[in-house]
Amino acid sequence: MPDKPETDRDRRVFALYEQLLEIEQRLIPTGLHVFGRASSAGEQIDLLKMIASFDRPEFGLRALPQEVVDDAVRTFVRKGSNEAIRLLETRGLPTGLTTEDVRAVFALLESVREKLQTNTEIDSLVRALRGEFIEPGPGADIIQNPDVLPTGRNTHAINPYSVPSAAAFARSEVVASSLLERYRSEHGRFPEAMALVLWGLDNIKTQGEGVAQALWLLGVRPVRDALNRTTDVEVIALPDLGRPRIDVVMTVSGIFRDLFSPTVQLLDKAVRLVAQLDEPWEMNYVRKHVREQIEHEACTPDEAAVRVFSNAPGNYGTNVNFMVLDSQWEREETLGDLFVTRKCFAYGRDSRGRAIEGREARLAMDRALSRVEATYQNIDTFEIGLTDVDHYFEYLGGVSKAVEKRARSRPAIYLSDTLSREVKIRSLEETVRLETRSKTLNPKWYEGMLKHGFRGVAEIENHVSNTFGWSATADAVDDWIYAEVAHTFLFDESMLERLRDLNPHSAHALVQRLLEANGRGYWDADAATLEKLREISRSLEDQLEGVA
Ligand code: BEZ
Ligand code: MG
């Protein structure tokens, strides 16, 4: 490919080439984990390649470059480290890497491989059921932290006072600035306010990257006390920050609220600190919004500065996913309203130091969301993405729909991919396309699922329904996606036969979901296509009722 595309045609071919590369290089799970079973040789190669592709400064380890990682890891798995090192030496070591660097990478791969080959999950489960001690281990995905192996241990959380770690804070600067640059490139200025979704497990896995991103947007850094606990923040001066402080509305999950209580306090403290800074409004949107609200609504500074919201104490989830998947809604705005009803409980501490622990603050949340121009969530693992579970659309979709009504405008919706070699910010629409191409419509993915029979068909249907969740909450799904789902799984006769043999219930649910997508105006399908779908639906119903 040319380095510097010259003509318009070259530019378009180059953009296409980059997109194809992105899809090709995306790591996807190619099957479900079977409890108690160690990973196969093929799965091991895929995982080890990814593990070897990341620099690990914490262990002084360097990544193997893309050009050599495939051959090197295959040779390693078949013939061992010495052969793999010899291969690299014969071909000429990658630039900047010494034999010692390469040896250290294979030493890590050796230990990971050993742990991948054993599996004590069933044994541990039985011991847990007997009330015996289960050795604890960290929670993350294997690529982020190979120390999660062996599996079958008691996943322990981390000390909330250690969040965000220094590494997470450093990494997050790039993410926050890329996010703001992306918005600015599309809108000509920075967003005044953003809504962020923070989850508990994600912040355990990344040692608080989501938290650190929120702090960067506000323009503050974490400060540790004499006991090395992160209990405070300090202001990053505007000349150093080089941009305005962004107003950040945070919706934290119930799990986050429970696990990260000191962090909830830290985030609330950060907002209140920034709101009090004597800075020009155009450089400090938190102050601007808080002052405006006090002036126009005669509310107290404490009320105007609430930005950390979660469920009522003891409650979890938004229920937006249930409402969507059970088709229990007429108007989309109901989904956003439900999100606010579930999540409008404020957490933090007021200016007199009194704890606010889940006080209902619907008006405050309505106001805060009414200024939001962009919504965002960090995705930190290749294992679970936008269409694998219903939680992304219930949270990020739910908050975006709530913003749309309150701000009278749909926000820009972004996700980051902090797993790739370089940080990548994508719009929701781009992420849905990428997920669809690399998973739902990718034969490597769906054939992997179909090996699991009944459950595999249910997974395919789940992916389509979760994709539909992005239509319902954010109108972020292109027509071609539904059309291709119909062609791949229903209009291909042999595929339809396989699905109906393995799991006619899920096959029927899939057809119904496509018809619902059309019925609700998310998919503009022609009459012949719809008739075909209805016919398939009828024949599946007959099968389920034992008529056929
Ligand atoms: C969490 O870790 O906070 C979380 C997990 C699953 C769904 C929603 C939130
Ligand atoms: Mg559409």
Separation between Cα atoms, residue 359 and residue 310, nearest integer Å:
10
From 155, 202, 311, 386, the mutation candidate for ligand 1 (largest count of ligand atoms within 8 A of CB) is: 202
Q: CB under 6 Å to ligand 1: residues?
A: 199-201, 253, 255-256, 391
Name the more confident of 95 and 5. Answer: 95
Q: Ligand 2 centre from 486 Cα, in Å? A: 16
Confidence of residue 318 (pLDDT cuts 50, 70, 90): very high
Note every long-range contact of 76-84, with CB atoms under 8 Å and residues 24 or more positions apart, other chains counting: 76/48, 76/106, 76/109, 77/41, 77/44, 77/45, 77/48, 77/113, 81/106, 81/107, 81/109, 81/110
Whether the pLDDT of residue 60 is over 90: the answer is no
* DSSP character at residue 27: -
Residue 511 sits at φ, ψ, to 5 deg, of -60, -45
Which of 53-67, 281-295, 373-387, 437-451 is predicted least confidently? 53-67
* Residue 354 to residues 265, 279, 302, 383, 453, Cα–Cα distance (Å): 11, 27, 11, 41, 55
Confidence bin at 504 (pLDDT 50/70/90): very high
Q: Give the ligand at the shortest distance from the Cα of 517.
A: 2
- pLDDT number for residue 205: 83
363, two tokens? 């008006």
Per-residue confidence (pLDDT) for residue 517, from 0 to 100: 98
Model pLDDT, residue 57:
74
Sorted by sequence, the CB contacts under 8 Å of residue 546 that are 6+ apart come out as none
Residues in the chain: 548
Are 105 and 134 in contact by the 8 Å Cβ rule? The answer is: no
Q: Which atom of ligand 1 is nearest to the CA of 395?
A: 8
471 alpha carbon, closest ligand: 2
Ligand nearest to the CA of 518: 2
Asked if residues 221 and 176 have their Cβ atoms less than 8 Å apart, the reply is no
Atom 7, ligand 1: which residue's CA is nearest?
A: 391
Q: How far is the CA of 203 from the centre of ligand 1 (A)?
A: 10
Residue 501's pLDDT is 97
What is the share, in percent, of the chain residues with pLDDT greater than 70?
98
157 pLDDT tier (thresholds 50, 70, 90) = low
Angle at which helices 454-474 and 493-502 pack, to 10 degrees?
Answer: 110
Average pLDDT, the chain: 93
Which pLDDT score is estimated for 189? 98
pLDDT over threshold 60, residue 1 = no
- 120-124, 228-232, 333-337 — most confident range: 333-337
Does the pLDDT at position 28 exceed 90?
A: no
| Lowest model confidence (mean pLDDT) among 128-137, 364-373, 389-398 | 128-137
Nearest CA to ligand 1 atom 4: 199
List, in order, residues 6 or more apart from 56 with CB less than 8 Å away. Answer: 63, 108
Tens-digit pLDDT profile for residues 506-544: 999 999 999 999 999 999 999 999 999 999 999 999 999
Strands 424-427 and 412-417: antiparallel
Rounded Cα distance between 169 and 236, Å, is: 13
For the chain, counts of helices (H) and of strands (E)? 26, 12
Q: Residue 101: in which H helix or E strand, if any?
A: helix 99-116
Distance 200 CA to ligand 1 centre (A): 6
Q: What pLDDT score was predicted for residue 26?
A: 81
Going by pLDDT thresholds of 50, 70 and 90, the confidence category of residue 489 is very high
Q: Cα–Cα distance between 382 and 87 in angstroms, integer?
A: 29
Determine the distance from the C-alpha atom of residue 106 to the mean position of all C-alpha atoms in its chain, rounded to a whole number: 30
Question: What is the per-residue pLDDT for 381?
Answer: 77
**Coil vs helix vs strand at 10:** helix
Which atom of ligand 1 sits closest to the CA of residue 253?
A: 3
Q: How far apart are CA 308 and CA 345, in angstroms?
A: 8
pLDDT mean over 194-206? 93
> Is residue 355 classed as helix, strand or coil in its secondary structure?
strand
pLDDT of residue 186: 98
Q: How far is the CA of 510 from the centre of ligand 2 (A)?
A: 19
pLDDT value at residue 211: 98
**Cα 311 to ligand 1 centre (Å):** 12
Residue 429: predicted pLDDT:
98
Ligand 1 nearest-atom number relative to CA 199: 3
| Ligand nearest to C-alpha 475 | 2
Percent of the chain at pLDDT exceeding 90 = 78
Model pLDDT for residues 82-91, shown as the tens digit of each residue: 999 999 999 9
Q: Are 472 and 332 in contact (CB under 8 A)?
A: yes
**pLDDT score recorded for residue 127:** 96
Spacing, Cα 10 to ligand 2 middle (Å): 29
Give the distance (Å) from ligand 2 centre to CA of residue 309.
Answer: 31
With 90 as the cut, is the pLDDT of residue 148 above it?
Answer: no
Taking only the tens place, the pLDDT of each residue in 393-450 is: 999 999 999 999 999 999 999 999 866 667 899 999 999 999 999 999 999 999 999 9
